[in-house]
Amino acid sequence: MRPLAIVCGLLLAACPATAALARDDASAPKARFVYGDLNLRRPADQDELVVRVARAAADYCRDHAEVVTPHHRRTNSRYCPTTMRVQLMWAMSPSVRHAYDAGRRRRP
């Protein structure tokens, strides 16, 4: 089974469409937030990190919600921001994620 997966992966890598998708991914919109100025050990800065992540998700969704939100979820205004927040959390390093989780736990 593993050799088959390797062969499939090599075939996909050789496909011209895959190369085109990789180029398009570089120009795809991204949600970003800055945290380099925060001391992630301080509770106030952890709270600010939570605010920045929420703001980044909201900013992205303001312009790109139709891309992220499936048609059957379009009436749920929280779907896109929640999805983007989760995506941002997965992209965080463990130390940033730990600070983010600590800040989230303190929120009402």
Indicate if 52 and 99 belong to the same structural domain: yes
Degrees to nearest 5, angle at CA 93 with 85 and 9: 85
- Residue 10 in this model has a pLDDT that exceeds 90: no
Task: Report the sign of the C-alpha dihedral through residues 37, 59, 94, 100, in that order.
Answer: positive
What is the full DSSP assignment across 34-91?
--TTS-TTSHHHHHHHHHHHHHHHHHHHHHHHHHHS-GGGTT-TTHHHHHHHHHHHHH
How distant, in Å, are the alpha carbons of 18, 28, 46 from that of 24?
Answer: 10, 6, 34
DSSP state of 31: -
Do 37 and 90 lie in one domain? The reply is yes
More confident site: 16 or 83: 83
Question: What's residue 67's pLDDT?
Answer: 77
Q: Are residues 21 and 36 in the same domain?
A: no
Residues 43 and 58 in one domain: yes
Count the domains in the chain.
2
For residue 6, give its domain range.
1-28
**42-89 tens-digit pLDDT:** 999 999 999 999 999 999 988 888 777 777 777 878 888 998 999 999
